[in-house]
Structure 1
Amino acid sequence: MRDDPDFDVRMFLPYLLNQAAEAASLEFQNVYKDRYGMLRNEWRVLFHLGIYGRMTASDIGARAQMHKTKISRAVQRLAERRYLVRTRDDADRRVEHLDLTKMGQKVYSDLRSTARDYDTALVEGLSEEDANRLRTQLIALAARRG
């Protein structure tokens, strides 16, 4: 393995992506934390149920790339807040179906609206073409994973 003296590790794509993700998500994280006392994983579970409707924890894990223990803790906290309900599957008692309650749907709707506004502000200063190109490239990078 040879060392490339021209390679600047500060330009290492995973590092830059992490820096951008942290900077972009911190302010929004404060919104769901301050308004609803939610942690990141709880927001992610709520987000998936809001988009896709009834799901199992396994479904969420596959879509969100989250570990099952993190999902389990988030589901427990959201259920305690009465944002979601758990229903055992009649055919397989090991499976629980998760649904947002009316209160959970209201929280999701509020945070979705806030996320839309935050997203708009985040790409302010970029042309629509550049913002769309950035989204397309990030989707492509994420799809290459694994």
Structure 2
Amino acid sequence: MARLLRRAFDQRAQGSGLTRAQWQVLAHLFHNEGSNQAAVAEALEIEPITLSRHIDRLEVLGYVTRLPDPNDRRARRLHLTETVQPLLNDMRRIGMSVLAAALEGVDAEETERMIASLSRMRANMAGRGIEMPDNPGEATEPSPQLQKVLS
């Protein structure tokens, strides 16, 4: 589902001239204004040099600015500029449109249950980290419904 949502977003955002990775940087900065590059790279699970290239491009476009970190003279804090605001508004509209299309025919109660289930699953995984059980036999078999979805 996540892959389909990303593809739909990519298709609708094609005219922006930005890559998905650049969109992800902008989205992260929108929610985490003033983060340093190391924190952004870690959050996006990309190498710092890769992030630096994305930031270079976004800076040339006038969308992002690097400011000195008051606590670490070697670090830079990333901030969005006013120039990017119309693009962020477009991104929000595209995202809402894709989500509306995905949720078509799904009523509010089903949506709330899905959100609660996904939140619970996320908490379960976060509580366990990324480690798998030492003994694969300890893992429980997925339910028949889940097996059908996974196949």
Do they fold alike, i.e. is TM over 0.5? yes
Aligned to 2:21, which of 31, 41, 65? 41
Which residue does 1:26 correspond to in 2? 7
Counterpart CA distance in 2 for 1:69 and 1:30 is 27
SS of residue paired to 2:62: coil
Answer whether contact 1:50 1:105 (CA < 8 A) is retained: no
Return 5+ residue gaps in structure 2 as ranges: 131-151
Identity %, equivalent residues: 25
2:104 to 94, 106, 124: 124
Deviates most, 134-143 or 115-124: 134-143
**Aligned equivalents of 1:129, 1:24: Cα separation in 2:** 21
Partner of 2:93: 113
Deviation at 1:38, TM superposition (A): 1.2
Say whether residues 1:51 and 2:31 are aligned partners: yes
Q: What are the within-5 Å matches in structure 2 for residues 1-146 of structure 1?
A: 20-32=1-13, 34-143=14-123, 144=125, 145-146=129-130
> What secondary structure sits across from 1:88 in the alignment?
strand
Q: CA deviation at 1:101?
A: 0.8
Q: Which amino acid aligns with 1:124?
A: E
Using the size of structure 2 for normalisation, the TM-score is 0.71
Q: Per the alignment, in what secondary structure is the counterpart of residue 125 of structure 1?
A: coil
Task: Determine the C-alpha separation between the residues in 2 that align with 1:70 and 1:133.
Answer: 38
Q: Deviations over 1:30-78 (max 9, x none)?
A: 233x222111111111001112322212232344344433322221221
**Which amino acid is the alignment partner of residue 10 of structure 2?**
Q
1:30 counterpart letter in structure 2: Q
Between Structure 1 and Structure 2, whose CA radius of gyration is higher?
A: 2
When the two structures are aligned, how many residues end up with a matched partner? 126
- Greater shift after overlay, 106-115 or 69-78? 69-78
Q: CA–CA distance in 1 between the matches of 2:82 and 2:49?
A: 25
How far did 1:28 drift? Answer: 0.5
CA RMSD between the two structures: 2.1
8 Å Cα contact 1:41-1:70 kept in structure 2: no
Instruction: From the superposition, tell whether residues 97 and 119 of structure 1 become closer, same or farther in structure 2 (CA, over 3 Å).
Output: same
- In structure 2, distance between residues paired with 1:51 and 1:35: 23
Provide TM-score, normalisation by structure 1.
Answer: 0.73
In structure 1, stretches of 5+ residues that fail to align are 1-19
